[in-house]
Amino acid sequence: MKDSFEELVTALKKSREKCPWSIEQEIEDFGVQLKNEVKEMDTAIKNKDYKNLKEELGDILMDLAYMAVLAEEKNLFTIKSMIEDVKKKLIRRKPWVYGDEKVKDSDDAVRRWNEIKKEEVKTGIR
């Protein structure tokens, strides 16, 4: 899977070099496009159209990766740092999975996630 994501990023970077449309794109250009893809994904989910869901998830992943490539080009952040940050967030917010904490059920897990998130906002971690 790691190679597939790296290949996608490489393909997007090549597109940025050679495709006139891609060259013109800015991060802000993806806002409306991403919202439309999310709506299409939601429709696929509601219709239990899993073949289309696969396509829509792929489109969303491509848009997200494209925005990350653009951010990297502008030296805003790297794709690697973005992935590391979200991985750390997942580990930090699920101590019942990655630590010693216990939760009773899914409601308790959501409650703890939200508590940890609020604490992060207070302390400036987020």
Read off the pLDDT band of 64 (50, 70, 90).
very high
Distance CA 27, CA 25 (A): 7
Q: How many domains does the chain have?
A: 2
pTM score, whole prediction = 0.86
Which residues touch 7 (CB under 8 Å, ≥6 apart)? none
89-115 pLDDT, tens per residue?
999 999 999 999 999 999 999 999 999
Same domain for 47 and 1: yes
Same domain for 105 and 59: no
Give residue 3's domain range. 1-77
Q: Is the pLDDT of residue 126 over 80?
A: no
Q: Provide the pLDDT for residue 2.
A: 74
Same domain for 55 and 16: yes
15-28 pLDDT, tens per residue?
999 999 999 999 99
Helical spans, DSSP H, in the chain: 2-18, 20-24, 30-46, 50-73, 79-93, 95-98, 106-123
Q: Which of 62, 77, 92 is the last residue of a domain?
A: 77
Same domain for 84 and 43: no
Same domain for 13 and 70: yes
Q: Which of 37, 59, 77 is the last residue of a domain?
A: 77
